[in-house]
Amino acid sequence: MIALDWMREGTAFFDAVSDCDLDRPSALPGWTRRHVVAHVAYNARALVRLLHWARTGEETPMYASREARDREIEEGAKDPALRELYATARDELTEAIRVTESWDALVVTAQGRTVPASEIPWMRTREVWIHAVDLGAGATFEQFPDALVDALIDDVIELRRRRDQSPALIVAPADRERRWRTGGPEPRTLTGSAVELAALLTGRASGPDLGRWL
């Protein structure tokens, strides 16, 4: 499972970047770096709940509600033991993945999508790599593996196709032979390097308003 390797590498990447002054502003509007770390910690626990669902069949959603999710991030950001909270949640997820065998079991994401549990390592992969950049502590998309950059573009394009989201796009990286396209008339062509386009498509670079990603 390739995403497991990316998840492990991304976790180490996030851990290294998050060893910084957490009280400073992050790259996300309205959030300090503490908010980012709290979010990544509670995302780990949310994915543990999905893995429990996959293993046992007991429905344990990622979050009770969007409001509950936002509230625990705010509370976690104020926790003096935030680093320990994050490390514990990270290790709980590692253990939950280790003992999971029912990767074909279906679970429901926070966005309401029904997916096999095998998608969970990819969900975590996105979190740790992208939020390492969001910390605003020096990490960039240029540090991502090339194949991961392409996988992020794949992910955004597939989600846009499912939602039939406007505007229609042709994604044409100058440093790739591949081209990505979503349906719809009069597509907008996006050019640049694959790294630049992955950042744009995931809302981490300035450019045209493409609407939501997740």
Please provide the DSSP assignment of 68-87 as one string: HHHHHHHHHHT-TTHHHHHH
189: enclosing H helix or E strand? strand 188-192
Q: Using a cut of 0.85, tell me whether the model's pTM lies above it.
A: yes
The tens digit of pLDDT for each residue in 133-186 reads: 999 999 999 999 999 999 999 999 999 999 999 999 999 999 999 999 998 899
* Three-state DSSP class for residue 164: coil
Sheet containing 180-181: order of strands: 180-181, 169-173, 188-192
Measured CA to CA, the distance from residue 58 to residue 51 in angstroms comes to: 10
Domains, the chain, ordered by start: 2-139 (1.20.120.450), 146-201 (no CATH)
Measured CA to CA, the distance from residue 79 to residue 188 in angstroms comes to: 44
The tens digit of pLDDT for each residue in 154-166 reads: 999 999 999 999 9
pLDDT of the residue at 114: 97
- Considering the chain, what percentage of its residues have pLDDT values greater than 70? 100
146: enclosing H helix or E strand? helix 146-163
